[in-house]
Structure 1
Amino acid sequence: MKITQKSLSFANKQLLHYTQWGPPTAASTVVLLHGAPGSHLDFEDLAPLLVSPTQNVIAFDLPGNGRTSADLVGGLSHVSTKSVNDTVINALPQLSMNNFVLVGHSVGGRTTIEVAANPLIPSQIRGIALLNPMGLRDIRGQNLRHQNFIAIFMRFFTRNGTIPSFLNLYTRQVYVKQLGFSDTIPTIDFLGAFYRMTSANLKRIKQAAQMLRNKQVPVFLGVAKTDRFVDHKIGLELGSVLNAQTVKVYERGGHNIPKSQAEAVAKDLKLWIEQVGLDDAPLTIVMLHGCPGSHLDYQYLAPLVVNEDSKVVSFDLPGNGTTSAKVVGGLPKLTAESIVKVVISALRQLSFKKFILLGHSLGGHTTLQVAAESSLAPNLLGISLLNPMGLRPPRWQYPMIQCTFASLMRYYTTNDDDSNVLTRWNRSFYVNNLRFPSTIPESHFTAACFRITSTNYHQIAIDVEILRQRKVPVFMALSSNDRVVEPDIGHELAAALNADTIKVWDKGGHNIPKSQAANIAQELQIWYQAL
């Protein structure tokens, strides 16, 4: 993984240093803001886990911390909540990011909120994430008014850049002995941290939080129950004010969850990031996965098509990913038709102004059937099919035999997590014959069997004709070496739909949303921009 040390130059000739993980240019960026004291090193465990081929990560050393001198804001005595906020606000437009997410830890959570609410911040911000954040009230043992008075006194003695020994002793007593920070941290970092924390304006932070709530900015909140520095209830209260859509409570990890819970936080953050986009984008691309599958099938493609004009919504369909089969009445009642009904209902509730349906594999069938729904027609801009199932079963499928098998499996599967000889054999078929990952839960393979064996090919043909008569624009992407759905099926479907754009790649296998993500994103954007 490429790690680069960079800096931005400000008007006073001072440098704001930052570290970048991942590709220099990426479709999306995660911007990490540390607490006080802190530096980019606070994120050295988390940052690499957030990198993908389409996403990079940067972490600042904020003024008076790490490699960035306090002189950037006029000297140590000028370090404050406002001066740090202003530094980030001035830095972000210089980075020329396509779109980005702001992530703040501890005091960096407050910075994140105030920065995100500032009208000067580019519209490319997709959301904010807060990890064990300072909130809207004092932390345990803190009296902000009292400590602010002490800070004024301390600023007086450090205004010429020197640090009296008694201040050295006081700050170390507070941060090392009381709060448990490392004794190796320089004294100047502790002083800057004290100035930054005590200059917080809780009223202004609450106003900023309310502003983000009103703008419906997507919010991720992660807190640890064992945080002894900031009570996790403070974070939950803040999440309530912000109307956080995703809240993760970790049983352990203490205050420094970017390190202690790096893997769990990274997994949850990546999942959230993939689900958020630019809310005011005029076009929504709705991605429907195959079976088994989940929104993660599009983790490479989705970020590449997100911009000011388009956002992505990727469902976990019933019985897959994070969506329970109970949405359709339980796993035994899961069918292709029940999933179509769920998607249609969801789209009616979401009320997108303009949207494109995109389906991969069996998600292609779902796309066709949903697109044929007349009530959605006024807002449907077109459909995109990636290695889709078509008008006939693929060569590996024997409908009569598999439908009989599925009927037996439904009979013996009464609960969503049931495991029996039939469900285990079904899993073995998908893993050994169709080469799906063995890490996929057994119930997801069961759902896949129920979904594919309940496909009504006669109805698919009717829906295809409806779309052809309506002249719905169609983008078709195929791989010549697809071993799951032979390419001829895709070509036949494209002809029946009178597809206006057909792209074929020699390689990529069945999973082209991953293997051909960059090529598909480029061609897809050319296609829908011409509509």
Structure 2
Amino acid sequence: MRRFPRARLLSGSARKPYARWNFLPRVDITSPREGQAPPPPLPSPQYLDIHGRCTLEYVDIPPVKEAQQGHAAPVTIVLVHGAPGSYNDFRHLIPKLNHPNMRIIGIDLPGYAGSKVSEEHYLDSISALPSAELALEAVKKLCEGSDNVFLIGHSFGAHAVINMAAFHATRKHKEEVKLRGMALLAPAGCRPHKVLRPRESAMVVGLLRRNNPLLSALTPHFIKAIYTRLLKFPDDQPAGHYIAGLVRAGTTDFSVIREQVNTLQELKMPTLVAWSQNDEFMEEEIPVELARLCHPGPRIAFANGGHNVQKTRAEQIADALSKWTEQVLSIDKKDQAKEQPIQLLPQLTTCCRFLWAAWNTLGVNATQSSLLFQVFYLNGRLWLREIRPYAAKTATIVLVHGAPGSYRDFRYLIPLLAQQPGLRIIGINLPGCGDSVVEKARYVETVNALRTSEVVLEGVRQLCGTKEEQEDVFLVGHSFGAHTVMNMAALNATETQSVAIRGMALLTPAGCVPHKSLKLGPIALMVKMLKSENTWAVSAATYITKFVYTKLLRFPSNSPAELFVSAVIRMGTTDFDLIRDHAKLLGSLQTPTLVAWAKNDEHIQPEIPEELSKLCPDGPHLEFSGGGHNLQKTRADEISTAIVKWVQEVVAKDKLEVEPVSTAA
């Protein structure tokens, strides 16, 4: 008998480990889980019977007694766990939610941890939709008469929260409890995530329904082993706990989830979504899609933190929840239909921490809130910075940088504008700039001149609403940002769901003809190489572009090449004849336009902004003898004073035109 080395016998299986067991779910922990200090113990559990079908275990932490006697509106937070899970999953978050007006309720869904289900209705009660209905009944009983209830769901708990909110919104007697919003943490979404096996889960549910004694005895141990050995869940719960998780997953209809999300979006249900980019269970596309489909609100993307962000990022999540609930409750009833962009935290990368710290050194008025957040669009996301006004809002100023650039180009101007009461200020990083993300497959077409303008206009629409919502918006563009601003204003003028753009300010603007520092021939060559499918050509164009910007034009050498590539594409796809047409259109519409330039601009000769000021004559035109190309820095005082005065005049004029004139009898 011929003998083979053991290593050779194993080599086939080593190439494809567990090949015959690929149908089993499995999770790979690619990075060590972050250690956490043990939280304080939760209060003793309580129990609630629901129609004799189940007894739910829950914890109830009331608000501070002194706060109950105050004038602030009490808030009830209902915490809903995943599958499997329990309210104990929120033990690190609960102590951080220490707002004196908050009542916190954590529930164990039917079949989990300490909640019991009657044998007669067992499988039905632990299924996806029925368990959400039972949980909603529990919330109605526990929160009867409450006006400000917010549902918080983690993982598959996000599905339960979506189910509960949709049931509540579409059924009678919803006045018993007023649901004001939902927060989805590391959520399951509108399609199965990477570790889910819907077909296999449904098959096991089918086996359980057969009531076969042998299968009923063996299946629970098998399911528990999958969850604890392969999916790394804690093994300190009875087998029924894990059965409930599998049945809930196996009875989930993702098309129903999508329909309910659409319903809640149409009903403008305030929604916070938070996730981690290194979630071992959910690929990022899942929460990103959910964030796009839900009603606008906070969108918090962490670079790290894993699946249990309610534990690893408890402090940030708690802070975001507190501010978000306050913001939702502060909206006037007559304005509740208005979309409200709320705080979005930065991804916790070194780069974003630097941006955050750098912005905080600008000296912005401490009574205002400085917020960093994202707006999602079809092929990526924009990073923005917002300064909210500390007095009644009179106008919103949107700052658009050049090519290349970022909202930090306005860091000298913003503190001066922020001193003016009533001004909301938004700075945007255009696609491909800063931390704004562009889908690689559509990169070139997304960062081109017109598409960039469309994307930013959509972002402004999400943040500021349409004309019907009466938010006066003023666009401020620097250098090539002036082109973007003109494109946005012209595109907006032809749309039915348009933004209330009241005027535009063009600072040292690119104009209707190429300026002196623009080399269209080499730029066209670089764009052609970048558009090609030749890897060598793309790499060479990228290297040359960064070399020119950093070595010849003296841009910071630590800037990513993508910043300069996006600038070259944006410039190389600019149609100057179209810019002229847009300027003429906006001039004919008498769009209020402020134009400012310097005679000694090293990039743009004075004749270019002078021509723009003639095409768009309705507004102040400022010519400085010095100051160079970056007037928003070198002449920040004069520019801010001019912008504030101009905005006030335009708003006052519009108000006079809108208000009816009363006549004496």
Assess same fold via TM > 0.5. Answer: yes
Deviation at residue 22 of structure 1 after TM alignment: 3.9
In structure 1, the residue matched to 2:93 is 46
Alignment TM-score, normalising by the size of structure 2: 0.45
Partner SS for 1:113? helix
Which of 1 and 2 has greater Rg?
A: 2
In structure 1, the residue matched to 2:234 is 182
In structure 2, the residue matched to 1:153 is 207
Rate the CA distance shift 1:10–1:147 in 2: closer, same or farther, 3 A: closer
Q: Matched residues in 1 for 2:95 and 2:184: separation?
A: 18
The answer to whether residue 222 in structure 2 is matched with residue 170 in structure 1 is: yes
In the TM superposition, what are the counterparts of 1:98-113 in structure 2 within 5 Å?
98-113=147-162
Deviation at residue 136 of structure 1 after TM alignment: 1.3
The answer to whether residue 85 in structure 2 is matched with residue 31 in structure 1 is: no
In structure 2, the residue matched to 1:18 is 58
| Residues 166, 263 of structure 2: 8 Å contact kept | yes
Deviation at residue 227 of structure 1 after TM alignment: 1.2
| Residues 21, 47 of structure 1: 8 Å contact kept | no
Q: Matched residues in 2 for 1:348 and 1:190: separation?
A: 45
Q: Matched residues in 1 for 2:98 and 2:366: separation?
A: 25
Deviation at residue 18 of structure 1 after TM alignment: 1.4
| Residues 22, 56 of structure 1: 8 Å contact kept | yes
| Amino-acid identity (%) | 24
Deviation at residue 143 of structure 1 after TM alignment: 3.2
In structure 2, the residue matched to 1:494 is none
Question: Aligned AA for 1:48?
Answer: P
Rate the CA distance shift 1:318–1:22 in 2: closer, same or farther, 3 A: same
Q: Matched residues in 2 for 1:107 and 1:152: separation?
A: 21
Rate the CA distance shift 1:210–1:189 in 2: closer, same or farther, 3 A: same
User: Which string of whole-angstrom CA distances, capped at 9 and with x for unpartnered residues, describes residues 14-47 of structure 1?
Assistant: 4322112241767111111101111110111102
Question: Aligned AA for 1:33?
Answer: V
Question: Aligned AA for 1:205?
Answer: I
Q: Matched residues in 2 for 1:73 and 1:187: separation?
A: 19
Question: Aligned AA for 1:153?
Answer: L
In structure 2, the residue matched to 1:477 is none
Question: Aligned AA for 2:103?
Answer: N
| Residues 84, 242 of structure 2: 8 Å contact kept | yes
Rate the CA distance shift 1:324–1:6 in 2: closer, same or farther, 3 A: farther
Q: Matched residues in 1 for 2:75 and 2:467: separation?
A: 24
Rate the CA distance shift 1:326–1:282 in 2: closer, same or farther, 3 A: closer
| Residues 127, 247 of structure 2: 8 Å contact kept | yes
Question: Aligned AA for 1:7?
Answer: Y
| Residues 16, 72 of structure 1: 8 Å contact kept | no
In structure 2, the residue matched to 1:258 is 310
Deviation at residue 325 of structure 1 after TM alignment: 11
Partner SS for 2:232? coil
The answer to whether residue 321 in structure 2 is matched with residue 269 in structure 1 is: yes
The answer to whether residue 334 in structure 2 is matched with residue 293 in structure 1 is: no
In the TM superposition, what are the counterparts of 1:84-99 in structure 2 within 5 Å?
84-94=131-141, 95-96=143-144, 97-99=146-148
Q: Matched residues in 1 for 2:333 and 2:93: separation?
A: 30
User: Which string of whole-angstrom CA distances, capped at 9 and with x for unpartnered residues, describes residues 217-273 of structure 1?
Assistant: 111111111211122221111111214422111122211111122112112222222
Q: Matched residues in 2 for 1:246 and 1:31: separation?
A: 18
Q: Matched residues in 2 for 1:128 and 1:260: separation?
A: 20
The answer to whether residue 212 in structure 2 is matched with residue 139 in structure 1 is: no
In the TM superposition, what are the counterparts of 1:320-469 in structure 2 within 5 Å?
330-332=411-413, 334=416, 338-342=420-424
Partner SS for 1:190? helix
Rate the CA distance shift 1:207–1:188 in 2: closer, same or farther, 3 A: same
Question: Aligned AA for 1:104?
Answer: G
In structure 2, the residue matched to 1:472 is none
Question: Aligned AA for 1:99?
Answer: N
User: Which string of whole-angstrom CA distances, capped at 9 and with x for unpartnered residues, describes residues 395-441 of structure 1?
Assistant: xxxxxxxxxxxxxxxx9xx9999xxxxxxxxxxxxxxxxxxxxxxxx
21-30 or 211-220, larger mean C-alpha shift: 21-30
| Residues 318, 325 of structure 1: 8 Å contact kept | no
Deviation at residue 280 of structure 1 after TM alignment: 8.0
Q: Matched residues in 2 for 1:14 and 1:91: separation?
A: 10
| Residues 172, 187 of structure 1: 8 Å contact kept | yes
User: Which string of whole-angstrom CA distances, capped at 9 and with x for unpartnered residues, describes residues 475-526 of structure 1?
Assistant: xxxxxxxxxxxxxxxxxxxxxxxxxxxxxxxxxxxxxxxxxxxxxxxxxxxx
Q: Matched residues in 1 for 2:191 and 2:240: separation?
A: 26
| Residues 107, 134 of structure 1: 8 Å contact kept | yes
Q: Matched residues in 2 for 1:218 and 1:280: separation?
A: 14
The answer to whether residue 301 in structure 2 is matched with residue 227 in structure 1 is: no
In structure 1, the residue matched to 2:49 is 9
In structure 2, the residue matched to 1:405 is none
Deviation at residue 318 of structure 1 after TM alignment: 8.3
Rate the CA distance shift 1:92–1:278 in 2: closer, same or farther, 3 A: farther
Rate the CA distance shift 1:46–1:350 in 2: closer, same or farther, 3 A: farther
Deviation at residue 75 of structure 1 after TM alignment: 2.3
| Residues 22, 51 of structure 1: 8 Å contact kept | no
RMSD of aligned residue pairs (Cα, Å):
4.6
Q: Matched residues in 2 for 1:198 and 1:239: separation?
A: 24
Rate the CA distance shift 1:198–1:351 in 2: closer, same or farther, 3 A: same
Which residue, out of 180, 184, 197, partners 1:130? 184
In structure 2, the residue matched to 1:64 is 111
| Residues 3, 22 of structure 1: 8 Å contact kept | no
Partner SS for 2:329? coil
Deviation at residue 292 of structure 1 after TM alignment: 2.1
Deviation at residue 146 of structure 1 after TM alignment: 3.3
User: Which string of whole-angstrom CA distances, capped at 9 and with x for unpartnered residues, describes residues 54-112 of structure 1?
Assistant: 11211111111122102298225641002211112212222122211111001101111
Deviation at residue 151 of structure 1 after TM alignment: 1.0
Q: Matched residues in 2 for 1:78 and 1:130: separation?
A: 23
| Residues 39, 62 of structure 1: 8 Å contact kept | yes
Deviation at residue 124 of structure 1 after TM alignment: 2.0
Rate the CA distance shift 1:337–1:186 in 2: closer, same or farther, 3 A: closer
Q: Matched residues in 2 for 1:6 and 1:324: separation?
A: 51
Rate the CA distance shift 1:245–1:61 in 2: closer, same or farther, 3 A: same
User: Which string of whole-angstrom CA distances, capped at 9 and with x for unpartnered residues, describes residues 311-367 of structure 1?
Assistant: xxx982389xxx999699544561577444559x999978779xxxxxxxxxxxxxx
Rate the CA distance shift 1:342–1:11 in 2: closer, same or farther, 3 A: closer
Q: Matched residues in 1 for 2:94 and 2:632: separation?
A: 36
Rate the CA distance shift 1:28–1:415 in 2: closer, same or farther, 3 A: farther
Question: Aligned AA for 2:61?
Answer: W
In structure 1, the residue matched to 2:389 is 317
Question: Aligned AA for 2:48?
Answer: L
The answer to whether residue 289 in structure 2 is matched with residue 237 in structure 1 is: yes
Rate the CA distance shift 1:4–1:64 in 2: closer, same or farther, 3 A: same
In structure 1, the residue matched to 2:268 is 216
In structure 1, the residue matched to 2:6 is none
Which residue, out of 244, 248, 258, partners 1:206? 258
Q: Matched residues in 1 for 2:91 and 2:284: separation?
A: 23
| Residues 132, 235 of structure 1: 8 Å contact kept | yes
Rate the CA distance shift 1:232–1:208 in 2: closer, same or farther, 3 A: same
Can you give the 5+ residue segments of structure 1 that lack an aligned partner in the other structure? 297-313, 354-410, 418-446, 464-531
Partner SS for 2:285? helix
Question: Aligned AA for 1:43?
Answer: F
